[in-house]
Amino acid sequence: MRPVFAALGLAALLGAAPALAATGHTAWNDIAMDQEQCLELGREAFARLGFRPVIPEDRQTVFAWRGDDLLATRCIADRNLAVHFVYIHQRQDGAQIMDAIRAVYAGARAGATPGPAK
């Protein structure tokens, strides 16, 4: 009987602790810009969010890292599309980061200039 109570106690303790699991988010934006503008917009947005952006030689995707966290935006300008990926290892701000990225691309589509990151 003791092992059952011990297991229940451990389950209750783990359930009470905040979960720090990895999270992933995907989203997309309609865009009205060329491939280079899309990549540069992603690079600037990622840098303002505190990530280190990189655009590989194939000029298709902008990636960015912050420790174990990863951002990526695949620009498909000939289809008027930017597809975003956010992987956050042990933080709870993945959805907010995705919202910020999408807002930058939505603002660019509307003709707005992106402001500073919060």
What pLDDT digit, counting tens, does each position of 53-97 carry? 999 999 999 999 999 999 999 999 999 999 999 999 987 889 999
Contact 106, 29 (CB under 8 A): yes
Residue 101, class by beta-carbon neighbours within 10 Å (0-12 exposed, 13-18 middle, 19+ buried)?
buried
At 116, phi and psi to the nearest 5? -70, 150
Instruction: Judge residue 55's burial from the number of C-beta atoms within 10 Å of its C-beta, 0-12 exposed, 13-18 middle, 19 or more buried.
Output: middle
Which letter does DSSP use for residue 97 in this model? H
Q: Give CB contacts under 8 A, 24+ apart, made by 17-20.
A: 20/90, 20/91, 20/92
Domains of the chain and any CATH numbers? 20-109 (3.30.310.50)
pLDDT in tens, 8-56: 444 444 444 455 688 999 999 999 999 999 999 999 999 999 999 999 9
The number of beta carbons lying within 10 Å of the beta carbon of residue 15 is 8
- Torsion of the alpha carbons at 21, 95, 18 and 49, rounded to the nearest 10: 90
